[in-house]
Amino acid sequence: MASLQLSFNISTSKTQISNPFLSSSNTRRTKNPFFSNTKTYPFAVKCSYPFSVKCSALSSISPEIEKTEDTQELTSQIHGPLHEIWREIQGFNNWDNLLDPMNDILRREIIRYGEMAQACYDSFDFDPNSKYCGTCKYQGANFFEKLGMADRGYTLTRFIYATSNINLPNFFQKSKLSSIWSQHANWMGYVAVATDEEEIRRLGRRDIVVAWRGTVTYLEWIHDLKDILHPAHFRDDPSIKIESGFFDLYTTKEKTCEYCSYSAREQVLAEMRRIIHRYRHENLSITITGHSLGAALALLSAYDIAEMNVNIIDNGEEMNITRIPITVFSFSGPRVGNLKFKERCDELGVKVLRVINIHDKVPKVPGIFTNENFQYQKYIEDKISFPWSYAHVGVELALDHTKSPFLKNNGDIRNAHNLEAHLHLLDGYHGKDKEFHLASNRDIALVNKSCDFLKSEYGVPPNWWQDEHKGMVRTSDGRWVLPERPRVEAHPPDTAHHFEQVLKNARA
């Protein structure tokens, strides 16, 4: 399995930045999460792209784009190694001067987080003929290793499970066989934290990642959305509302099932509190990512973490509170809540970069008619309490798959929604009016892992990503069997303690 490694050595003067940050939800002065002191480290970027498949036709057929004077101007006004500019990369200035032209470091970081979301698809057992359908194929200890991502410098700390009371048949995958696992829960993602010292130096902080799985049934899940807003009630403002299907998936639990005896919400908040408490004396960031349905859950959990003050560290001194920055890199995400929800996310300082394909239908729902583009949206929410009013949160990075010379343009909406296709488009995007060419030569074969989007002349078969023999192995007596998988720990024993601490701190 091939990988791509890029190394850079850049020396630059460190920009002196000041600008106090005052929390809108707390009267005490907080340390600005994007402007805390950091050490200066030698800069080395390693970008390994796993799942690499060599395409023999690529070298002879792929369009070669000459670098002209226009394509030379591909750097933004913000320069420096990641450990010096990570706050800007994480969205402190809402990515001003970073998207057009596209900043090379930002591109690499978005792709890196997108690959962490893609890992949820690549490790999910969605085969209804498997008794393990609905679970993760790998143990947490070797999760990244099995996916060719062992060099990423992160350690997986927890799996996330979810259940639902609402009839959402296309949200969950269930086995046709008698399941030995659970009839209620589905594996929905993971929490990981940067633990490799070299990676921490490169990042300029210890990064905590939450990655949410999207749906494996492509767009069918959209039809399950009820387009009904539900009050969040995470704090005391009932005017902040969330689409009911997302809310239910995030908050529902089933006491009779060991994997969803805590809701996805409780699992995430407890784990975030545990990790933050452990590393509270370090420079931290929280990055949440997801695709499709996972993008909705990413935004919802980011809002929840901020609303519940989980990202606030009280250093025990008056006027001395640290607020850990929260950034969402979402892909093909639908609208999640109403205008009040958007405004509250902005007040809490949740930074969101939404990567979309302009030909994808999912980012246009729900709220087709009444959304952030409607002139009187605020009026109808405040005065009429219109129940179908939605608003996108954050900054949009709009891509166009017709710009890529590698992709078909056959109008297949499933292709337009595919996450690997988005990562391919990111690699070739340099600005709204810039010519498309691959910045890192990321393997185009990755596009066809779970779709048929590459032009046929590249010789890459569609939907090629699959387990060898579908996980079946041959025993010593010559029989083919599906080996038993070790049962993973449902919830760490201190989950209840940390969630109770979340509620206690939120009330304080």
Residues with a known catalytic role = 292, 360, 417
Question: How far is it, in rounded angstroms, from Cα 207 to Cα 194?
Answer: 5
Question: How far is it, in rounded angstroms, from Cα 91 to Cα 355?
Answer: 14
Question: How far is it, in rounded angstroms, from Cα 376 to Cα 374?
Answer: 6
Question: How far is it, in rounded angstroms, from Cα 213 to Cα 27?
Answer: 37
Taking the CB of residue 364, how many other CB atoms lie within 10 A of it?
Answer: 15
Question: How far is it, in rounded angstroms, from Cα 246 to Cα 232?
Answer: 11
Say which residue the tokens 């959304």 belong to.
371
- If we measure between CA atoms, which residue out of 306, 249, 271 comes closest to residue 140? 271
Q: Give residues with Cβ within 8 angstroms of 482, minimum separation 6.
A: 130, 131, 471, 472, 473
Single-letter amino acid, residue 82: L
Question: How far is it, in rounded angstroms, from Cα 396 to Cα 338?
Answer: 17
Helices (H) and strands (E) in the chain, counts: 14, 15
Single-letter amino acid, residue 257: C
Question: How far is it, in rounded angstroms, from Cα 157 to Cα 349?
Answer: 26
Taking the CB of residue 61, how many other CB atoms lie within 10 A of it?
Answer: 13
Single-letter amino acid, residue 62: S
Question: How far is it, in rounded angstroms, from Cα 3 to Cα 443?
Answer: 9
DSSP state of 432: T
| End-to-end Cα, the chain, rounded Å | 51
Omega prior to 334 cis, within 30 of 0: no
Q: Give residues with Cβ within 8 angstroms of 448, minimum separation 6.
A: 420, 454, 460, 461, 462, 463, 464
Tell me the two tokens of residue 440.
């890192």
Question: How far is it, in rounded angstroms, from Cα 116 to Cα 213?
Answer: 10
**β-strands 284-291, 206-212 pairing:** parallel
Convert 258-291 into a string of H (helix), E (strand) and C (coil).
Answer: CCCCCCHHHHHHHHHHHHHHHCCCCCEEEEEEEE
β-strand partners of 327: 287, 351
DSSP state of 340: H
Question: How far is it, in rounded angstroms, from Cα 424 to Cα 444?
Answer: 7
Question: How far is it, in rounded angstroms, from Cα 285 to Cα 307?
Answer: 16
